[in-house]
Amino acid sequence: MSGMTMIQGQVAEDIDAHAAASWFTAAYLIPLSSFASLSGRLATVFSPRSLVLPVGALYALGSLVTACATSFAGLVLGRAVAGTGGAGVLGLCVIFVLELTTRRRRGLFIALVNTGFTVGVAFGAVVYGALFPVIGWRPIFIWQIPVSLIGGIVSFISLPSSMQPGGGDLLHKPGTTTQKLARIDYLGAFLLASTKLAWHPWLFNANPATADIHPVSLCLSLVSLAAFLFVEYRVAADPIIPLPVLSSRGVLFSCLAQLGLMTARWTLLFYTPIYMLAVRGAAPARAGSVLIPTNAGFGIGGFVVGALHVRRAGSFWLPTLLVSAVFALSLFLMGLVAAPTAPMPLFVAIVFLNGLATGAALNYSLAHLLHLSPKDTEYVSTSLLGTFRGFGGSFGTAIGGGIFLRTLKQALTIGFADLEGHHGHEGLSPKHARLVTRLLGAPGLVFSGELNIEEQNIAINGYSGAIRDVWHAAALLSVIFVAVQAAAGWTAPEDRNHKCDAEEENQAHAAVLENEGVGEA
């Protein structure tokens, strides 16, 4: 995911889609966060082991389509297919941990899975940045094909053949395979993906560079959301998201707060490498390596909080608010040091602080959510929290992309128009109009040598200002969602039952299988 920022400039150049470059990431993230639940549901019908090979093949197919794409539509299709395969990978990873580990060691291995996602985000940008100048972008996707297929085969062989469909008796109902497949909430998954897709600001724009949310897009998103809620409440036999849990104020506000935090977090993950490319003139590999400190901070923050503080059940309301406030402060500080002349050690330190606060916030919020959840809905609430975290990726790229492109286009247009005026010309020349379009999707163009010193300074200042506005907007969003987290309260509800019976535990276990989405990654 993060690696796409390193190569999107050349990809956009090759398929002539500079203004819509944000779709390269959004097309992957939308199915990734929307369809992870389907892999969990399928694991209640088929053995999770039997799903490994199809998931690996699906990801390989998406990589193949992406590598061979010669148009914007073809590339987005490939990214969407790969994202669907990635959703299966995410869901199955959690399922294997739940099925193959003891309860005592389950938390450790889920932490290791999350660490794997985090390391992937950190080093994806580094690897892409290092390989791109040597082999180009198409071979980067081609080599993912054998990796996906071999990984699927090795996993299939190593997993025990005795694995059975999970989910307990509640979801593993009698019936033929066809009947079991028919009970899966495909319509809910489709409507959930449609809600996020329609909300994307580039869907109905005649001029994608404006990045405005079109009224038709907004209306369709709201209609799709209403249809999704109706299907989940009234139609689906086994809803994709356990909406009755959202009747709890604490659970609802905690999930919304996590959505806001991860939306803001993704603006850092996506735009920090772009800042290094376009403002600091870093080489692609070095630009990607700037994510290593923030993901190291994420791991340290989560480990320290989990090992030293979250060692009891109970409320963590105040610690959650404090680390969330530090998270918001770090984004505000990043906006302040987004200038070309800011000290690099200070920038890296703030990036690390953001990761530290994120890791701590995710651990505290999870512990506090368990305190706010009734005893018989703890697993359901936890999985729902993971689902909302997963949505942050697509929302973060959409919101951040809208602010970024609008601000950058305005700055470049004004800057180049002023430059034309200084040379005795009025308005924007066709050359500079084309340059604006290219710069919107190619941050590496700033220091490529194609721009003269005046044009380069305009581009650097434009990128710096646009990224600063994105991070300040993310900081403001974070402050709002700190208030939302505060509204979740600190009082535990009265337990409906003091002890879960077997059926409730099966239901909770099934919900974890179907709803665990993307966490940090």
What pLDDT shows up at residue 508? Answer: 43
For residue 441, what is the enclosing H or E element? helix 430-441
Taking Cα atoms as reference points, which of 273, 391, 287, 354 lies closest to residue 26? 391
Q: Which regions of the chain are under pLDDT 50? A: 168-171, 202-210, 496-521
As given in the structure block, the two tokens for residue 221 are 């998103």
Is there a domain that residue 39 lies in? Answer: yes
pLDDT attached to residue 391: 76
Count CB atoms within 10 A of the CB of residue 138: 15
Q: Is residue 521 one of the residues assigned to a domain?
A: no
CATH code: domain of residue 190 = 1.20.1250.20
Residue 517 is classified by DSSP as -
> Which pTM value belongs to this model?
0.76
Residue whose structure tokens are 């990589």: 63
pLDDT of the residue at 517: 38
Burial class (CB in 10 A: 0-12, 13-18, 19+), 300: middle
Distance CA 21, CA 401 (A): 9
Separation CA 224–CA 285 (nearest Å): 40
Number of domains comprising the chain: 1
Quote the CA–CA distance of 204 and 147 in Å, as a whole number: 36
**Residue span of the structural domain in which 471 resides:** 4-515
Residue with tokens 């999704």: 228
Angle subtended at Cα 414 by Cα 455 and Cα 331, rounded to the nearest 5 degrees: 85
In order, the DSSP letters of 298-324 are HHHHHHHHHHHT--SSS--HHHHHHHH
Residue 89 corresponds to which amino acid?
V
Q: DSSP of 211-226, one letter per residue? A: ----HHHHHHHHHHHH
Three-state secondary structure call for residue 492? coil
pLDDT at 264: 93
Instruction: State the CB neighbour count (10 A cutoff) for residue 342.
Output: 16
Q: Is there a domain that residue 486 lies in?
A: yes
Residue 499 lies in a domain: yes
Residue 238: both structure tokens together? 């086994």
Residue 343 belongs to a domain: yes
CB atoms within 10 A of CB 2: 25
CA distances from 28 to 24, 35, 123, 232 (A): 7, 11, 18, 25
Q: Describe the crossing of helices 378-422 and 186-199 by its angle, rounded to 10 degrees.
A: 20
Query: How would you write 351-418 as a 3-class SS string?
Result: HHHHHHHHHHHHHHHHHHHHHHCCHHHHHHHHHHHHHHHHHHHHHHHHHHHHHHHHHHHHHHHHHHHH
Residue 520 lies in a domain: no
